[in-house]
Amino acid sequence: MTSANGDYRNKDILLGVMGDPIAHSKSPLMHGAALQALGIPGAYVPLHIAPGQLGEAIRAVRTLGFRGVNVTIPHKVAVMEYLDRLDGSALAVGAVNTVVNDNGVLTGYNTDGIGYVRSLKAEAAPELAGTRILVVGAGGAARGIIAALLLENPSAVVVANRTREKAEQLAAAFEAKGAVSGIGMNEIADRIADVDIVINTTSVGMYPRIDETPVDPGLLREGMTVSDLIYNPLHTRLLTESRQRGCRIHGGLGMFVYQGAYALEYWTGQSAPVDIMRQTIIDALGGSAG
Ligand code: NAP
């Protein structure tokens, strides 16, 4: 994919990621490798921005001539008020993770959900139309991926959350876009029989609590696709148990890579070197592909 934002191949570009905390972020590593692979001179730097500094930091994007920034926790919603324009992807999700600076005009995009769906289709489930999807969790990540999943015309999306009301609220927010319903975690057993794809969007199973699983593995059956947004570890217990039961599995690394790929494509107008970006993260995590 290329954007209409011009060809930055031979220009120095300055990029970064704003968050609090930010030291743990793997984005500088991934984008640094991508810029190098594309032969684009420039830098992608971590920017530690406390909540009270966000407005000033966004103004500095224009002053310092950054081509763009990623925005991460806790700024994804708050940043919207400081931007000039919001892309449809940001409006659908109600949050921004990518800002593009076109000669001082800042546009906010959300590439998390579309990045996730591009990865899911490329790596596990090429056809989502007509599928029945169970989304476990109702936080910010769930909101982004539900918005993107609904563009693929699944026949149903069921959101299950520990706090049932949050699942219901999320479902209600998307009711005009498709068949979305909200349930409690304890209702998964009754609803999972006809589900094609299970997606964990909770943090359950993430390092260091790698023995935990958000869904009873006994409920999973052969032929299902099971996807986990977590990428540390690369294979969560949920995915390991799912594979043992004959499910097709999909980890969270692809989402991270493709949300970055879309952002890089908006900033540079070049196709992102996704294989190099993925391998950079695998090397950094000390894991193996697959
Ligand atoms: P969030 O907004 O804080 O939402 C967290 C969700 O997890 C809520 O639904 C919460 O339920 C649920 N949860 C937390 N602890 C739980 C527990 N012990 N038992 C059951 N449910 C629990 O977080 P988020 O931003 O959506 O991120 C969620 C996960 O997605 C994280 O692991 C994050 O690393 C991952 N993620 C991955 C990528 C990627 O690129 N691969 C991108 C974004 C996020 P309640 O509502 O009941 O509290």
What residue type is assigned to position 39 of the chain?
G
> 227-275, pLDDT tens digit by residue?
999 998 999 999 999 999 999 999 999 999 999 999 999 999 999 999 9
177 part of the active site: no
> 67-114, pLDDT tens digit by residue?
999 999 999 999 999 999 999 999 999 999 999 999 999 999 999 999
Q: Is 36 in the pocket of ligand 1 (CB under 6 A)?
A: no
Residue nearest to atom 34 of ligand 1 (CA): 230
Q: Is 262 in the pocket of ligand 1 (CB under 6 A)?
A: no
Is the pLDDT score of 5 beyond 90? no
- In the chain, CATH 3.40.50.10860 sits at 13-110+254-285
Residue nearest to atom 2 of ligand 1 (CA): 139
Strands 156-161 and 13-19: unpaired
Distance 47 CA to ligand 1 centre (A): 23
What gap in Å lies between CA 138 and CA 191, rounded to an integer? 17
- First vs last Cα of the chain: how many Å apart? 25
Q: Which among 221, 219, 197, 138 has a CA at the least distance from the CA of 173? A: 138
Q: Exposed e or buried b for every residue in 52-73, given b needs 16+ CB within 10 A?
A: eebeebbebbeeeebbbbbbbe
Look at domain 113-251 and name its CATH class.
Answer: alpha beta
The residue written with tokens 């991934």 in the block is 30
Look at domain 13-110+254-285 and name its CATH class.
Answer: alpha beta
Q: Is 206 in the pocket of ligand 1 (CB under 6 A)?
A: yes
- In the chain, CATH 3.40.50.720 sits at 113-251
